[in-house]
Amino acid sequence: MHDPCGRAARRGAALGSDLVEENGRTGYLFFVWAPTGYTLVEQAGDPPPAGTQVEDGERRYRVTKIAPSPLPGDPRPCAYLMPA
């Protein structure tokens, strides 16, 4: 599966390897689409609003929606990304 973590330029949000706090249940998730499937990426802070563009190297994504985490019992919000 494609791992979108790494050094990312940002315009509104970064698709990077920011750490979440020790309990692992703060921040939010990126649900990233790729031709090979989806990847969940943990992020610190607040999720970017829908419509925000996120860059990962030369790949660009758009936040299509903010929804609850797809993980059972996970209270974090999840930003769903699709290629821009």
Domain range for 55 is: 10-83
- Does any domain span residue 2? no
In the chain, how many domains are there?
Answer: 1
- Does any domain span residue 17? yes
> Residue 52: its pLDDT value, please?
96
The pLDDT tens digits for 32-61 are 988 899 999 999 999 999 999 998 888 899
Q: Could you give the CA distance from residue 52 to residue 11 in angstroms, rounded to a whole number?
A: 8
- Quick check: pTM over 0.85? no
- Does any domain span residue 72? yes
Closest C-alpha among 57, 64, 70, 66 to residue 84: 64
- Does any domain span residue 3? no
- Does any domain span residue 75? yes
User: Which one of 15-19, 22-26, 39-43, 60-64 scores highest in mean pLDDT?
Assistant: 60-64
> Residue 56: its pLDDT value, please?
80
- Does any domain span residue 5? no
User: b/e per residue, 3-42, with b = 16+ CB within 10 A?
Assistant: ebbeebeeeebbbbeeebeeeeeebbbbbbbeeeeebebb
pLDDT band at 10; cut points 50, 70, 90: very low
